Amino acid sequence: MNTRLLSYIDTFLYHSSTEPLQQLVYIIAKLCLITAPAAWVVKRPTGKDDRLFTSQEEALAFLEKQGHSDDYVAPLFTTVKVDMSAGEIRHLLLTPLPDEED
């Protein structure tokens, strides 16, 4: 299934008529398929008391023991920023671009 999805994404990602904003959406979709989550979070509807976990198993175990009916588990991916014009990739948490404020 992932191979078919990646093929579909690549078709639009590398097509010359795809607009830049659409390409960004396809890049994000592709990253979600080819990378593993860095962490997992149990989200609460109130937004308070969300819990972070290093594995999906830990998050699901917490949800089973202490979760409410409207809580859910979501993957968290590391964030990178790409300056397409300069060809630079920098990790936002470690090296923000010099012209931007945190």
Q: pTM of the prediction? A: 0.51
Residues 74-85: what's their mean pLDDT? 68
Backbone angles phi, psi at 73, to 5 degrees: -105, 135
DSSP the chain: -HHHHHHHHHHHHS-TTS-HHHHHHHHHHHHHHHS--SEEEEE-TTSSS-EEESSHHHHHHHHHHH--TT-EEEEE---EEEETTTTEEEETTT---TT---
Please give the pLDDT value at position 1.
62
pLDDT confidence bin for 15, thresholds 50/70/90: confident
pLDDT tens for residues 21-62? Answer: 888 788 878 877 888 888 888 988 887 788 899 999 999 999
- Residues 40 and 55 sit within 8 Å (Cβ to Cβ): yes
